[in-house]
Amino acid sequence: MVSRVIPVDPFDLVVFGGTGDLARRKILPGLFRRFTSGQMPPEARVIGAARSELDRDGFRKMTAEALKEFMPEKARPKADVEGFLAHLDYVAIDAKGKDGWKELAKLMRPGVVRAFYFSVAPSLFGALAERLHEHGIADPESRMVVEKPFGRDLASARALNRTLAEHFDEHQIYRIDHYLGKETVQNLMALRFGNILFEPLWNHQYVDHVQITVAETVGIGGRGEYYDKSGAMRDMVQNHLMQLLCLTAMEPPAKFDPDAVRDEKLKVIRALQPVQPGSIVRGQYAEGEKSKSYREESGHPDSRTESFIAMKIDIANWRWNGVPFYLRTGKRMRTRLSEIVVRFKEPPHSIFDEDAGNNANELTIRLQPNEGMDLKVTIKEPGPGGMRLIEVPLDMTFADALGQEESDVPDAYERLIMDVIRGNQTLFMRGDEVEAAWAWTDPIIEAWEAGRDAPRPYDPGSAGPEEAFMLLHRDGRRWREIRA
Ligand code: BG6
């Protein structure tokens, strides 16, 4: 299927931290794909800005190597790579000093969209913002993009928001949560609000419970220093899982418009009940046959940081009264899978014999891999022998339905960067949303830190510690299996 690509306005995008890991892995390959799809206008320019003493050719060479490393060969024909590299420029810059700022000011062109991607440590945000203004590089319409982690608690997130607010208006700030850029996450909104079918059932009258799972097979790899100070709660729950929960639980916004959507998400976060200690299970992966334990990998032999979390959350509002949302996420699990499962109630009365069985419908939205949805419906088991009911899936993989290859699906980053250029904040977090999410997670983390309880060990390649199963079992429910 050929999708319609509308070129964006001409832009100058400055990537601070342009030689860093995120730039090489995501930002530059993402921009390259937008270039090959025809979305980048001929006047567009991407300016790398970092400490490394590179020149324009050096940056182009580094970018070519990054594309080679992070993209399959067939996705990067030579002529396209060369065409893309011609859009790149570079300036060596000292974020906290004087070097490079005048050169950058000279490079910027009037009359095009100006965007600044802060792909650097949050401690540099203030200095960068200050210098952009001091040198007249940022104007009231410039946009700035910041990455997670956006703070590590409410106090630090507030401080960051204040720093940014000294130099930029909220409408200029794009806080990235890359989960919001995933096609299927956006599809969640299309599914809920573009169909009449689901919305009438999407409430406590018909929904028994919701499960949100983000499982990864990877461990923490070389990120031990960062991860051990974060854990799954700060790294995944406070942002990615919270966003999935919000999109699943929010009221229909009046419009698909940045503030209308974000207002509704914020209301969900504010309606989250404090989580009781007995409703959370923390886990940490143990040593496997071929893999190191979390403690060894992180370099912290006594670490009490969790690499797995399962929790039960209540949303105190009219729609979701009494409907638990079970969240779980972990590293080194059986398979890589992100999905949302909406389990409906059983029909109120069965007209069939008791031994016919009674089943509940279940809608699963698969975010990755194999993006799609499946709805379990009850039918009669074929053949003679009376009325016996069985469950069968109505299964749709979006790629099959749309005749797409997996490689046609845009990566989260490329979508989000183009939204920055278009000036559309719908898929970015607003300052008050981030703060509300921290306000909810802070007491949970503080209680762990005060109690010093250790996470439960779990086997790599499993579905987490046994206690995670018990969390649902004691409510008479079961997690949907994490299948390889
Ligand atoms: C990042 C986390 O934000 O998201 C990582 O810091 C995690 O720990 C990653 O692995 C997961 O993203 P994705 O897109 O691979 O599901």
Return the minimum-mean-pLDDT range out of 214-223, 321-330, 408-417.
408-417
385-412 pLDDT tens trace: 788 888 899 988 888 888 777 666 678 8
CA of 426 to the centre of ligand 1 (A): 21
pLDDT of residue 2 exceeding 60, the answer is no
- CB of 362 within 6 A of ligand 1: the answer is no
> Based on the domain organization, do 49 and 196 belong to the same domain?
no
Measure the CA angle with vertex 129, ends 126 and 132; round to 5°: 150
Q: Is the CB of 216 under 6 A from ligand 1?
A: yes
User: Average of pLDDT values for 44-61?
Assistant: 96
Residue type, 377: V
Ligand 1 binding pocket mutation candidate from 236, 337, 406 (most atoms within 8 A of CB): 236
pLDDT digits (tens, 9 = 90+) for 172-182: 999 999 999 98
Task: State the pLDDT confidence band at 281, using cuts at 50, 70 and 90.
Answer: very high
The preferred substitution site among 240, 244, 370 for testing ligand 1, maximizing ligand atoms within 8 Å of CB, is 240
In a domain, 163, yes or no: no
Identify the pLDDT of residue 215. 98
**Residues acting as catalytic residues:** 240
Q: Is residue 160 assigned to a domain? A: no
Does 147 sit in the ligand 1 pocket, CB within 6 Å? no
CA distance linking residue 357 with residue 419, whole number of Å: 49
Distance of CA 399 to the CA centre of its chain: 20
* Strand-pair partners of 214: 329, 338
Residue 3's pLDDT band, with cuts at 50, 70 and 90, is low
Beta carbons of 331 and 214 less than 8 angstroms apart: no
Among 103, 128, 147, where does a domain finish?
A: 147
Per-residue pLDDT of 219-243, as tens digits, reads 998 889 899 999 999 999 999 999 9
Domain assignment present for 167: no
Asked whether residue 23 falls in the same domain as residue 136, the answer is yes
Task: Please state the three-class secondary structure of the chain as a single string.
Answer: CCCCCCCCCCEEEEEECCCCHHHHHHHHHHHHHHHHCCCCCCCCEEEEEECCCCCHHHHHHHHHHHHHHHCCHHHCCHHHHHHHHCCEEEEECCCCCCCCHHHHHHHCCCCCEEEEEECCCHHHHHHHHHHHHHCCCCCCCCEEEECCCCCCCHHHHHHHHHHHHHHCCHHHEEECCHHHHCHHHHHHHHHHHCCCCCHHHCCCCCEEEEEEEEECCCCCHHHHHHHHHHHHHHHHHHHHHHHHHHHHHCCCCCCCCHHHHHHHHHHHHHCECCCCHHHEEEEEECCCCCCCCHHHHHCCCCCCCCCEEEEEECECCCCCCCCCEEEEEECCECCCEEEEEEEECCCCCCCCCHHHCCCCCEEEEEEECCCEEEEEEEEECCCCCCCCEEEEEEEEEHHHHHCCCHHHCCCHHHHHHHHHHHCCCCCCECHHHHHHHHHHHHHHHHHHHHHCCCCEEECCCECCCHHHHHHHHCCCCCCCCCCC
Q: What is the mean pLDDT of residues 146-165?
A: 93
Which residue has a Cα nearest atom 5 of ligand 1? 235
- The burial of 195, by beta-carbon neighbours within 10 Å (0-12 exposed, 13-18 middle, 19 or more buried), is given as exposed
Q: Do 126 and 186 belong together in one domain? A: no
Q: Tell whether 252 is covered by a domain.
A: yes
Residues 110 and 258 both lie in one domain: no
When pLDDT is cut at 50, 70 and 90, the band that residue 198 belongs to is: very high
pLDDT for 407 equals 62
> What pLDDT is stored for residue 13 in this prediction?
98
203 shares a domain with 60: no
Q: Is the pLDDT of residue 150 over 80?
A: yes
- Any domain includes 423: no
Mark whether 276 and 375 lie in a shared domain.
yes
Tell me the average pLDDT across 133-142: 93
Which residue's structure tokens are 């002529």?
A: 79
Give the structural domain span for 465.
180-410+430-473
Residue 158 included in any domain: no
Mark whether 319 and 197 lie in a shared domain.
yes
Q: What is the mean pLDDT of residues 298-318?
A: 97
What is the average per-residue pLDDT within 143-170? 94
Query: How many CB atoms sit inside 10 A of residue 405's CB?
Result: 8
How far is residue 411 CA from its own chain's centroid? 11
Pocket test for ligand 1, best of 178, 212, 242, 367 (most atoms within 8 A of CB): 178
Q: What tokens were used for 484?
A: 């390889």
**Judgement on whether residues 221 and 89 belong to the same structural domain of the protein:** no
What is the predicted pLDDT for the residue at 277?
Answer: 87
pLDDT of residue 398: 81
Among 130, 147, 164, where does a domain finish?
Answer: 147
What's the token pair of residue 440?
């909810």
Average pLDDT over residues 429-457: 94
How many CB atoms are closer than 10 A to CB 427? 25
- Structural domain contains residue 100: yes
pLDDT at 395: 86
Ligand 1 centroid to residue 185 C-alpha, Å: 14
Q: What is the mean pLDDT of residues 405-433?
A: 89
177 lines ligand 1 (CB under 6 A): no
Residue 4, pLDDT above cutoff 80: no
Q: b/e map of 351-385 (b: 16 or more CB within 10 Å)?
A: eeeeebeebebbbbbbbbeebbbbbbebeeeeeee
66, 211: one domain? no
Residue 140 shares a structural domain with residue 279: no
Tell me, yes or no, whether 3 lies in a domain. Answer: no
Q: Is 208 in the pocket of ligand 1 (CB under 6 A)?
A: no
CATH number for position 20 = 3.40.50.720
Domain boundary among 147, 164, 195: 147
For ligand 1, is residue 89 a contact (CB within 6 Å)?
A: no
User: Which pLDDT does position 64 carry in this prediction?
Assistant: 97
Tell me what the mean pLDDT of segment 106-112 comes to: 94
What value does the mean pLDDT of the chain take?
93
Query: How many domains does the chain fold into?
Result: 2
Give yes or no for residue 411 CB within 6 A of ligand 1: no
How far apart, in whole angstroms, are the C-alpha atoms of residue 12 and residue 49?
12
Q: Which atom of ligand 1 is nearest to the CA of 235?
A: 6
Q: Is the CB of 339 under 6 A from ligand 1?
A: no
- CATH number of the domain that residue 245 is part of: 3.30.360.10
User: How much distance in Å is there from the Cα of 221 to the middle of ligand 1?
Assistant: 12
69 CA → ligand 1 middle, Å: 19
Residues 340 and 386 in one domain: yes
Residue 199 confidence class, pLDDT cut points 50, 70, 90: very high
Say whether pLDDT at 168 is over 70: yes
Confidence of residue 183 (pLDDT cuts 50, 70, 90): confident
Partners of 88 in the beta sheet? 46
Kindly state whether residues 141 and 202 are assigned to the same domain. no
